[in-house]
Amino acid sequence: MVNWPEIDNKYYMQTIVRDPVTIVRGKGARAWDDKGKKYLDFVCGLAVNCLGHCHPAVVKAVKKQVGTLIQTSLWYYNTPMLQLAELLVKNSCMDRVFICNSGLEANEGAVKLARRYGALKLNGAYEVITTFDSFHGRSLAMTAATGQAKMQEPFQPLPAGFKNVKSNDIDAIKSATTKKTCAVMVEPIQAEGGVNVPDDDYLKKVREWCDQKGILLILDEVQTGIGRLGALFGYMLYGIEPDVLTLAKGLGGGMPIGAFLAKEKYAVLTLGDHNATFGGNPVTCAAACATLKYVIDNDVAGNAREVGKYLMSKLEGLKNKYSFITEVRGRGLLVAVYFNSEIAKSVVAACIEKGLIINRLKPNAIRFIPPLIILNKHVDEAVGILDNVLSGITG
């Protein structure tokens, strides 16, 4: 049998600490490794496979498209790209779309748009305010936007034009705003930063401040969009509308795609301002169309909302049972469990050994980002395995 970790160690750049499982097949909420072992997958491509592995609607769309037309470039029209653009606009508060390949590209495009707006409408303003513990991508610019020193320090000097301020603090945003500010970019819930849920009125206050100052509000919904929080887009839960919205992860149902959307007033990019060789790719757009239609037609966001509540309640039960669990936090099917010590690595390893794939979020926290189509019975199975693992821990 091939030793895949050995091949990884020999040939792949060692930038990632992988969990000890080689996944070769997936179906729904299940995955199988190269030894034939079956797992309940509560990571599912890092919130990408929102309909689970190889959902029939996505597979059908991809098979049909890959046998018809694979790539054209944005120099030409292609129907899946335009169908997806129409779907996104008609089901959001946005007016214009640019389709790219990832969340990183979506956020880069959103910042580029904001700077162009600042140049045209705000006397050359170019700075974007972001928050500590955010995550917006790993390019040099988005590393500067990401408010995490551990990610920034190895790559100094970083591009200028970003201010990181305290999260969930409107006064911090107000204090950082100057005549150079063109936008504020935040996540409805900071996913990679710790599943940090803001105060209920935080986004409304940020919206009001951006309106007052005439600057753009960019919502990074790369992880929270497409039903993850219990609504099609996270902003819908907070009674506000952004000026610019970024999407990726769940949008493609497993295929790599991203998009940034803007209201007409702020869609100031013109001919020659932006492009992407693989942007609007027919195959990924066909997958995204199939995913988005299924999510909307089958109220997948509603399922995420209700099953998410059930997951939270079951995890709260474990918190009451084990004194070393300090907090359960999240919304919809984006949930984290925090411990009073750095045991997350051993908890994740033990869960994988028992057939449950979960995510190590921090040394003292684990994260659940399962497919949005899971049922209560899947929650019972996952929490049962976690309970069994935690029962062997003293703390």
Q: Are residues 38 and 76 in the same domain?
A: no
Q: What is the average pLDDT score of the chain?
A: 97
Structure confidence by residue, pLDDT tens digits, 312-335: 999 999 999 999 999 999 999 999
Catalytic-residue membership of 297: no
Q: Are residues 342 and 352 in the same domain?
A: yes
Neighbour count for residue 260 (Cβ, 10 Å): 30
DSSP code for 95: S
Separation of alpha carbons 22 and 327, rounded Å: 31
Asked whether the predicted pLDDT for residue 390 surpasses 90, the reply is: yes
245 close to 260: Cβ distance less than 8 angstroms: yes
Structure confidence by residue, pLDDT tens digits, 124-164: 999 999 999 999 999 999 999 999 999 999 999 999 999 99
Query: Residue 197, CB half-sphere, CA atoms under 13 Å: how many?
Result: 15
- Looking at residue 393, its pLDDT comes to 86
Q: Are residues 210 and 259 in the same domain?
A: yes
Residue 395 lies in a domain: no
Catalytic one of 162, 213, 220, 260: 220
Structure confidence by residue, pLDDT tens digits, 76-131: 999 999 999 999 999 999 999 999 999 999 999 999 999 999 999 999 999 999 99
- Looking at residue 205, its pLDDT comes to 98
Catalytic-residue membership of 233: no
Which of 280, 297, 314 is at the close of a domain?
297
Catalytic one of 42, 135, 339, 368: 135
Q: Determine which of 15-19, 130-134, 344-348, 385-389 has the lowest per-residue pLDDT on average.
A: 15-19
- Which residues partner with 129 through β-bridges? 163, 184
- Looking at residue 395, its pLDDT comes to 55
370 close to 49: Cβ distance less than 8 angstroms: no
308 phi-psi bin (left φ>0, alpha ψ -120 to 50, beta other):
alpha
Residue span of the structural domain in which 110 resides: 56-297
Q: Are residues 37 and 156 in the same domain?
A: no
Supply the CATH number for residue 93's domain: 3.40.640.10
Sheet holding 30-33, edge to edge: 23-27, 30-33, 38-41, 356-357
Asked whether the predicted pLDDT for residue 61 surpasses 90, the reply is: yes
When pLDDT is averaged across residues 24-44 and rounded to a whole number, the result is 97
Structure confidence by residue, pLDDT tens digits, 223-272: 999 999 999 999 999 999 999 999 999 999 999 999 999 999 999 999 99
Separation of alpha carbons 334 and 372, rounded Å: 10
β-pairing, 216-220 vs 244-247, is parallel
Catalytic one of 163, 213, 249, 314: 249
Residue 203 lies in a domain: yes
Residue 241 lies in a domain: yes
- Looking at residue 17, its pLDDT comes to 85
Q: Are residues 349 and 385 in the same domain?
A: yes
Burial class (CB in 10 A: 0-12, 13-18, 19+), 58: buried
Q: Determine which of 12-16, 287-291, 338-342 has the lowest per-residue pLDDT on average.
A: 12-16
Q: Determine which of 3-17, 53-67, 239-253, 339-353 has the lowest per-residue pLDDT on average.
A: 3-17
Residue 175 lies in a domain: yes
Supply the CATH number for residue 38's domain: 3.90.1150.10
Q: Which helix (H) or strand (E) holds 370?
A: none
Residue 89 lies in a domain: yes
Asked whether the predicted pLDDT for residue 302 surpasses 80, the reply is: yes
Q: How confident is the model at residue 340 (pLDDT cuts 50, 70, 90)?
A: very high
Catalytic-residue membership of 135: yes
- Looking at residue 1, its pLDDT comes to 84
